[in-house]
Structure formats: C-alpha cells, structure tokens
Structure 1
C-alpha cells in the first residue's frame, strides 16, 4: 500500500464511483448564499441547485478551503506516516492554493507538496485521478510531483456556457464580454490560459458548439485516442453526451469520464455549461 495520498477539494468534480478505493482526500470548499453566508448549500441536490439558479431563487457564492482544514489534514497524514500532494483549483480562481501554502509553512509540513494545477472542475479531477493511480502503482513522491505538474499544466479546458452573466458576477469576465455573448444566439467558447478564464471565440447556435469543440480538440490535442478524456456539465447531460459521442467517433476515444459540475464551479459557470478536458502534450 502506498504511503502517498492526493489531497484535493470538492471543486474537482470527480464522480463518487471514480473516487472509490483511491488514495484521495477531498476537502470541502464552502458554498453558501450571497444574502446568507452562514447557510451552507454545498450538499444541496445538484439538480435542485441548478434549477434554483435558473429560477433566480439562489445566488451561490464560494470561498476557499480554510487554512485550519489544511493544517488538520497535514497533521493527520503525518501521524499516519504518509506524504501528501495537494492538487486543487487554480490559484487564479481561488485562495485555496495560498491557504495550503500557509498551512504547510505553519505546521512545517515537509511531507506535503502543494502544486498549483492551474486547472478547474474535471480538469483538476483528471490530474487528481492520474496522481492517485501513480501512487497506487508505487511511484515515489518526487516522481509523482514532477510528472503530475507537467500533466496539469498541459490540461486543456474548452467550455461553453448558456449565460455569461454568472461568470461576470463572479468577476471571471467583464460585463462587456457578457453582453456581447448574449446577442444574436451567439454561443461563447471559452478556455483556460495559465489558470485563468478567457473567451476563445463565438459560435452561432448550439448545434455548431459541439462541432467546433471537437475541431479545437483536433487542433490542440495530442494522441487523443490514448487519453483519458473528461466532460463535465451543469445540468446539460444531453449536450455532454452529444459531445462525448462526437469525440468517440472522431478520435476513437476509449475512455471518457462524464460528470456533473458541482456547486463550487457551478456557482460561477451557471446552468447549461458543458466543458471538455484533454491533454495538449
């Protein structure tokens, strides 16, 4: 049994059945209501979560994993004689990375390595999954840390949203970009650059979104047929499955994980989002 555990948070959007039996610790990233910060809604049924967002009944906000939660986690694995690799949400999108660094310094956790994945949602999840499997294979701490940082920093995030207003509210894009995206049935395609969200291009109509996302995968991906591909969605399973079928048909993909976008990411991306994750190197 490996003495290495992978520490992540609930923004990774890995399905429960995938997490099972893997050396992964998933810390809770708080999700609450803007008008009631003390009301934790992170465990709200995910379909209800998106339905309430659509109806304007809730305006969720997120916060970072607290420093003391990281400290307790680091101390717990130290007592168990284990080492930990922290792989969480991009530092450009949350303060959790800084919280983990502060916790490491506070408890002098030399047995812990904190890596800025520069990823989000199932992009982080695929990184966590690969690291956990490497640990299971008996790979050593330094080797996993080195390889997984390269893997994380070559993870493509290509996604589309139904309403750019949610990203605007969270400060992820400007108001002008949100306004333009809502005109004339234009569907925005966005991507991550160095851990931050940027508009990539605009496509007219939903039908062309899947086609263009597959084309971008062809332009940027490397050996896609041998990769573990990720697709996540915010209550838009129909489009997610359509994208999965198109990827399989175009690239003979063998393994695809399809997951819901959880409340942490969904609070900012909103209902209807569909995202594609793959390696570019």
Structure 2
C-alpha cells in the first residue's frame, strides 16, 4: 500500500505547527483589499489583516486558491505519496473544492487525488483533517479514510455568533440567514452551518443571551465522549473563546477543548469577534 498524504487549505484553522509536524499541505486562501491580493498566512498574517481591516474604507473580499496553487501542492505531495486526500470547506460557502477539482482534472488526471467536500469549515474541517492525517499515519487505507470522513460529515454540528451581520451580508455568504436582514443588523442571531450553508437558528436580542443559548445547545446536543471532538472557534477574541471553553469543560466534564483561531478568509465573511463551536453527534 502506498503512502497517503493530506492536502487542505487555510479555512481548516489547523493548530500552529500541526501541518509541518504531520506533512499536511495547507493551500492558502486569497484575501483581497481593493486591487491588492494576498495569500492568507503566507503573505498576510492575521495581525496585519486585522490592522488593514480597521484602516480600510471598504471591506475585503476573498477568493478560493487558484488551481495553479493546488497543482503545485499536489505535485509536492505526490513526490512522497501515491494517494492524496484533498479535504476542503463546503462548496456552498467556498469555491475551493471547484478549484481543487479543476487542478486535478486538468493537470493531474492520472494521479490518485480524492477531493472531499466536507460541507463544513473551520473547527470541524480542522478536526476531519487531523483525523484523516492520524489514520493515514496509522496505516488505514485511503478508501477507509474517505469512508470514515464521509460518515462523519452529516454528524457535524457548527453553531456560531457574529458581532454583526454586516460581514456575512456584504460577503454574500449569508445563505438562508438572509431572512434576518432588513433593519435588524443589530440583533444577535445564533447561526448554524446546515447542509453546508449558513442558516439562522434563533434571533436573540443581546450578545449575552445569545452566548448563553449557544452553551445550552452544546450541553443539550454534544455527546459526553472524546468522539464528539468538541472545539471552540474565534475570530480574534481569544479571551472570549477561553471563557466559553472553560464553561463547556465544566458543564460537560471534558478535560480539554481545543481552541481554533479562524483566519483572515473566514473573518472576512463572519467578522471580527465571531465565536463558535463545532462537534460531532
């Protein structure tokens, strides 16, 4: 059996150092400020992104990594592996899967590259990438890894709060939550990623109440098991993420809950101050 390598992208919000330690190739998303474009994390750190965001008169935009970036990533990984698993965010919120498929089909049609649309993003995507990498290192076959990942996808749950709906609205990623727009940008909706799309779960008037409701939902739905892979995500608000994780650890009896800082591409669409949770049921 040939070696298996994992490819993903910066929306997986992998912990610092993880990719290098496990030979995971991370293809950068593209962040644009006006006519200037940057590869996320490669040419634009998160701190610099936030500085530019605060100083810019117009909101940034994003685009998926171009197919050429995937071709280069795949060629690097194929030098050491026979099979690549390319694991990416929901095609409902990102063009990444389409770009990866274009790279495979146009440039490397003979290679064994499996492109997976996880129907999720950020923490749960990162969890799936880390599980796949661990299974590959343990000698699990590519077919079995794909089957395991696909079995987990419909079990994923992602809930989040945004500081304002402005970013989701202007970035065009608001999905079914568009019903919330219309003079109500000040409400604090509880949102979910459902069937790969951003949907409104509940309308709540204050951030405090929305946060309390988020905790209630996790306590109601999250299995008391390591297999839940519960994580907390944040866009530039580590203290709030730490408080949420501490509350959930206490309520659920977990020793650890990983914290994932989402990158510039996700923050472009959700906005700074976004706080979320991901787990599998």
Q: TM-score, normalised on structure 1?
A: 0.89
1:23-62 aligned within 5 A? 23-33=23-33, 35-38=34-37, 42=41, 43-54=43-54, 56-57=56-57, 59-62=59-62
Query: Shift of the alpha carbon at 1:215?
Result: 1.5
Show CA shifts across 1:81-137 (max 9, x none): 431101112111111111212222222144111111011112211111111111111
Residue 201 of structure 2 is matched in structure 1 by 200
Give secondary structure in 1 for the equivalent of 2:18: helix
Quick one: distance in 2 between partners of 1:28 and 1:206? Answer: 32
Aligned length: 277
> Comparing 125-134 with 253-262, which one deviates more in the overlay?
253-262
Deviations 1:59-100 (A, max 9, x none): 221111211222233333333343110111211111111121
- Write the deviation string for residues 230-273 of structure 1: whole angstroms up to 9, x where unpaired: 21111222221121011101111233211221001111111110
1:74 aligns with 2:77: no
Q: Which residue of the partner structure matches residue 85 of structure 1?
A: 85
Go from structure 1 to structure 2 and tell me whether the alpha carbon gap of 1:229 and 1:25 turns closer, same or farther (over 3 Å shift): same
In 1, are the aligned partners of 2:235 and 2:261 still within 8 Å (CA)? Answer: yes
Distance in 2 of aligned mates of 1:143 and 1:69: 27
The alignment partner of 2:272 has SS state of coil
1:178 paired with 2:177, answer no
Alignment partners' CA distance in 2, 1:271 and 1:214: 20
| Alpha carbons 2:87, 2:115 under 8 Å: kept | yes
**What is the CA-CA distance between 1:224 and the residue it aligns to?**
4.3
8 Å contact 1:225–1:254 — kept in the other structure?
no
Please identify, of 252-261 and 122-131, the stretch whose mean Cα deviation from structure 2 is larger: 252-261
SS at match of 1:172: coil
Residue matched to 1:21: 21
Q: Is the 8 A contact 2:158 2:278 kept in 1?
A: yes
Q: Where does the alignment leave 5 or more consecutive residues of structure 2 unmatched?
A: none
1:148 and 2:143 correspond: no
Find runs of 4+ consecutive structure 1 residues off by over 6 angstroms. Answer: none
Q: Secondary structure at the match of 1:204?
A: coil
Structure 2 length normalisation: TM-score? Answer: 0.89
8 Å Cα contact 1:225-1:252 kept in structure 2: no
Distance 1:181 1:224, change over 3 A: farther
Q: Secondary structure at the match of 2:17?
A: helix
**How much has 1:225 moved relative to structure 2?**
5.2
Structure 2 match to 1:240: 241
**1: CA distance between counterparts of 2:24 and 2:273?**
29
Contact kept, 8 Å, 1:225 with 1:251, in 2: the verdict is no
**Residues in 1 aligned to 2:116 and 2:226: alpha-carbon distance in whole angstroms:** 28
Q: Does structure 2 conserve the Cα–Cα contact (< 8 Å) formed by 1:89 and 1:117? A: yes
Task: Provide closer, same or farther for how the CA distance between residues 180 and 247 of structure 1 changes in structure 2, counting only shifts above 3 A.
Answer: farther
Pair 1:47–1:75, CA change in 2 (3 A): closer
* Structure 1 range deviating more: 69-78 or 94-103: 69-78
Residues 156, 278 of structure 1: 8 Å contact kept: yes
